[in-house]
């Protein structure tokens, strides 16, 4: 049996923290509800793949009505909590508008996510079918949730976008900030340990492997030494770039030119031009132009 002293000490610690779940202010969004929202959104993006029973074309209209209603209700409730937390005026009305705007983006998000599935199938010789990719490849969950969270991030919604991507991170080991801008046909092979920062920009037809970091070189700070928010800190990756396992690319000014290849475990803090190959020879970093036969292979790899 617990003692009164333990209870009093814990209550005192809660008071020092400003209340329990902001009971003295706005309640925070529920982790459990956000996880349920993430799962419902994955069902909507990939109908029939995650259902307990079969889904037919004839069932689809009624099924879609049901799942859209669930998403709309749950999203609006959690958005309202986020907006109250941010001290927005009329959070209920704004949550309703943001929810409607978000739902309107779903057909386009679904179209783009389908290009990611196609990129995985084309980019991985071990893939046997699109169905296998949707059901078993961790990148599908991580990238899909990031694309959905990015819509909310663009609406300047606090808390909820990061909670969505962190569910994907927890499930897959792939950490993509909702602020990152990612082009179509994006494929992360294997995936574990990938980190993509908030201000990263990734072009179309990019393929990266496990352990890759697109990170910040350093943080600009104010006079008090506090990091300044909103500054471009992460690299830009051009179209049709391949980045192999455990490469680290840092800095807001760093640009990896289109059609380039970054080798395994390469550490880059400076830009490389388009059509380049970066790799280590012994302990020296080599950056050279790609050869003609390598460019032909590149085109074949990414013919979607």
Structure confidence by residue, pLDDT tens digits, 271-281:
999 999 999 99
The 10s digit of each residue's pLDDT in 75-122 is 999 999 999 989 999 999 999 999 999 999 999 999 999 999 999 999
Per-residue pLDDT at 257 exceeds 70: yes
pLDDT band at 3 (very low <50, low <70, confident <90, very high): confident
Q: What sign results for the dihedral spanned by CA atoms 145, 150, 151, 153?
A: positive
pTM value? 0.91
Selected residue with higher pLDDT from 282 and 165: 165
pLDDT given at position 179 = 98
Q: Give the C-alpha separation, 179 to 148, whole Å.
A: 11
pLDDT given at position 271 = 98
| Size of the chain, expressed as the number of residues it contains | 304
Return the half-sphere exposure (C-beta side, CA atoms, 13 A cut-off) of residue 33.
Answer: 16
Per-residue pLDDT at 295 exceeds 70: no
Question: CB of 116 within 8 A of CB of 57?
Answer: no
Question: CB of 211 within 8 A of CB of 246?
Answer: yes
All structural domains of the chain: 25-173 (1.10.3130.10), 180-304 (2.160.10.10)
Q: Give the C-alpha separation, 122 to 81, whole Å.
A: 41
Question: CB of 176 within 8 A of CB of 212?
Answer: no
Q: Give the C-alpha separation, 67 to 244, whole Å.
A: 39
Question: CB of 215 within 8 A of CB of 248?
Answer: yes
The 10s digit of each residue's pLDDT in 113-157 is 999 999 999 999 999 999 999 999 999 999 999 999 999 999 999
Q: What sign results for the dihedral spanned by CA atoms 286, 292, 294, 298?
A: positive
CA separation, residue 227 to residues 153, 156, 269 (Å): 20, 19, 20
The rounded mean pLDDT for the chain is 91
CA separation, residue 264 to residues 65, 238, 245 (Å): 47, 18, 5
């Amino acid at each position: 049996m617990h003692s009164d002293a333990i209870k009093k000490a814990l209550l005192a610690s809660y008071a020092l923290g400003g209340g329990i779940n902001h009971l003295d202010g706005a309640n925070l969004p529920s982790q459990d509800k956000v996880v349920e929202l993430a799962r419902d959104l994955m069902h909507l993006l990939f109908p029939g793949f995650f259902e307990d029973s079969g889904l037919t074309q004839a069932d689809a209209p009624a099924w879609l009505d049901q799942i859209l209603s669930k998403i709309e209700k749950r999203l609006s409730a959690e958005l309202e909590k986020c907006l109250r937390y941010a001290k927005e005026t009329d959070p209920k009305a704004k949550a309703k508008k943001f929810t409607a705007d978000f739902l309107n983006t779903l057909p386009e998000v679904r179209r783009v996510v389908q290009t990611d599935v196609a990129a995985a199938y084309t980019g991985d010789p071990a893939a046997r079918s699109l169905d296998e990719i949707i059901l078993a490849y961790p990148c599908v969950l991580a990238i899909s949730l990031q694309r959905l969270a990015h819509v909310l991030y663009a609406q300047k919604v606090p808390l909820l976008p990061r909670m969505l991507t962190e569910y994907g991170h927890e499930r897959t080991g792939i950490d993509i900030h909702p602020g990152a801008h990612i082009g179509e046909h994006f494929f992360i092979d294997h995936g574990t340990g990938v980190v993509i920062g908030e201000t990263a920009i990734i072009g179309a037809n990019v393929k990266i492997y496990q352990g890759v970091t697109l990170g910040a070189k350093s943080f600009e700070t104010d006079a008090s030494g506090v990091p300044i928010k909103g500054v471009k800190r992460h690299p830009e990756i051009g179209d049709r770039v391949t980045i192999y396992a455990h490469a680290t690319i840092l800095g807001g000014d760093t640009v990896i030119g289109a059609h380039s290849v970054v080798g395994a475990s390469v550490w880059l803090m400076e830009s490389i031009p388009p059509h380049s190959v970066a790799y280590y020879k012994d302990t020296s970093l080599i950056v050279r132009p790609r050869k003609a036969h390598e460019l032909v292979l590149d085109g074949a790899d990414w013919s979607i």
